[in-house]
Amino acid sequence: MNTTLELEDMQGLIVRGYEKLPEAKFLLLQINDATSAKQYLASILGQITTAANKPEHTALHIAFTASGLHALQLPPSVLASFQREFLEGMQEPTRAHILGDTHLNAPAQWQWGGPNNGRVDLLLLCYANTPSNLDQLCALHINAFKQYGIYLIKTQETETIPRAKEHFGFRDGISKPFIEGLKNYSEQEKPVIKAGEFILGYENEYENYTSSPLVPLSEDPENILPIYIKSNEHKDLGKNGTYLIYRQMTQDVPGFWKYLKENSKEPANTNEEAAIKLGAKMVGRWPEGAPLVLSSEEIDTNPSTENNFGYWKEDPEGMKCPFGAHIRRNNPRDFLLTERSQSTNLKLNEKRKEVSVEMIRKHQILRRGRSFGKPLDPSMEPEKLMAASDDGVFRGLHFICLAGHISRQFEFILNAWSKSPTFSGLYNDSDPLGAKQASDHLDNEFTCPAAPARRKYRNMPQFTQLVGGAYFFLPGIKALQYIIKTP
């Protein structure tokens, strides 16, 4: 099917992650007065980068929390039509429980977005090609905030890590779903997912439309919004918009490598090699990016962005890439099955694989994160990272992703796959890179299937910690116009 995407009505962050704009700052804001905040939004409307343009110098995006839309006096009936998870917020106790945000990760401990922090209404995402362009862009807005009664809660700095890596020393940003209708994809570019999974107002993987915030016809007298595809009675406030999920996670890089070096039982000639091998098993890729399922047992130091692989044929027993590895948990590809062993019935095997691939398509996210804090060692070589002493620097990942349905996509991945102790036949493991419940010593194992016996790692410390988070709505341009115009 040909999907025509309305790129000029979409914020560009949906279609690109701005690798060519390595500088970024995220501003967390609070609205004091609805009228003047709307004036500010009207003043920046023309500066929001749409998906129709590929910017070379700067890009600007805006997103709203539920409290932000409330502060802007969106009619209560309209506000109520947003997804429940968005309305409740990430910090709400039941949601926090579903997400496993307890103990050290509990919202009460957060630096922003939690019950003990200032209310976050808006998120302004600023990107630039150079530090001076970024400073200029941010200064322009920060100066305007006072004038419009907008309070800057927090400026989130970001850091581009050499060689496209994240702080632990592994290449990041490799695997991504492609959006149907964006271009003609090649055979290698997989999976191509229905646009409605990531952009509201388009058909999704259920051949349906993901629930979108709606406005009664009478509440759009200026006729700004498009008609809702499923009812003539409503306008679609979600069209060309999506939800933005933001979780700020710290990474204990010295602790990670210390654990690997002291505990690895992976076969190797040196402790360093053994540490790298265990780290790669936890991620599912070698530090330079090569997927374990396509590599030999030995450390692969060739840079790789290879993403054309599955687990069913390549690694059904998890001997190469453990079932509990970060990438295998967060996207099980063709192996989302409880039956571990292949059947002798080849047709049945094929069927199981197809079912898995079809299910996976309904639980995808577009990752748009950026790191923060200086790297522990600028070389980002694993050997140097594990030799470096603890510098106490606050570093980690601004994990940001986009999804049309918060609970079916982001929360499902986290809850059913990433932090599930029984994922894929395991029973006491959890995502080694995920922020987990450290204090009750549950779910803190990591299992590497191996012959003649699997290797178990117990009492793993928590390598990442959640320090803030929120659910945002990233509106389309017309929706933004509507929000500004509501009386």
User: Rounded distance, CA 185 to CA 191, Å?
Assistant: 10
CA-closest candidate to residue 486, choices 14, 9, 114, 69: 69
- Least distance in angstroms from the C-beta of 169 to ligand HEM: 9
Task: Select from 163-171, 184-192, 224-232, 468-476 the region that touches ligand HEM (CB under 6 A).
Answer: 163-171
Q: Decide whether 90 or 414 has the Cβ nearer to ligand HEM.
A: 414
Within 271-290, the residues that bind ligand HEM by CB under 6 A are 283, 285
Rounded to 10°, the helix 253-263/271-283 angle is 120
Return the structure tokens found at 421.
């102790």
Instruction: Please give the residues from 344 up to 403 whose contact with ligand HEM meets the rule CB under 6 A.
Output: 365, 396-397, 399
Contact range with ligand HEM by CB under 6 A, out of 27-35, 207-215, 326-334, 447-455: 326-334
How far lies 1's CA from each of 177, 178, 204, in Å?
A: 17, 15, 12
Shortest Å, Cβ 17 to ligand HEM: 11
39: exposed, middle or buried (Cβ count in 10 Å: 0-12, 13-18, 19+): middle
Give the residue from 381, 416, 327, 380 showing the smallest Cα distance to 162.
Answer: 380
3-state percent helix, strand, coil for the chain, nearest multiple of 5? 30, 20, 50
Binding ligand HEM (rule: CB under 6 A), the pick from 95, 277, 326, 368 is 326
Task: Return the range that interacts with ligand HEM (CB under 6 A); candidates 79-87, 140-148, 170-178, 467-475.
Answer: 170-178
Q: Which is nearer to ligand HEM, 247 or 353 (CB)?
A: 247
Rg (CA), the chain: 23
Nearer to ligand HEM among residue 92 and residue 135 (C-beta): 92
> How many residues sit close enough to ligand HEM to count as binding (CB under 6 A)?
25
Stretch that binds ligand HEM, among 11-19, 56-64, 121-129, 243-251 (CB under 6 A): 243-251
Is residue 385 within a helix (H) or strand (E), and if so which, with residue range? helix 382-387
The smaller minimum CB distance to ligand HEM, of residues 6 and 443, is found at: 443
Residues near 125 by beta carbon (within 8 Å), at least 6 away in sequence: 13, 24, 26, 27, 59, 60, 61, 62, 63
- Cβ at position 443, least distance to ligand HEM in Å: 15
Report, in Å, the least distance between residue 279 CB and ligand HEM. Answer: 10
Q: Is 420 in the site for ligand HEM (CB under 6 A)?
A: no
The binding site for ligand HEM (CB under 6 A) comprises 166, 168, 170, 172-175, 247, 249, 251, 283, 285, 326-327, 330-331, 365, 396-397, 399, 413-414, 418, 433, 464
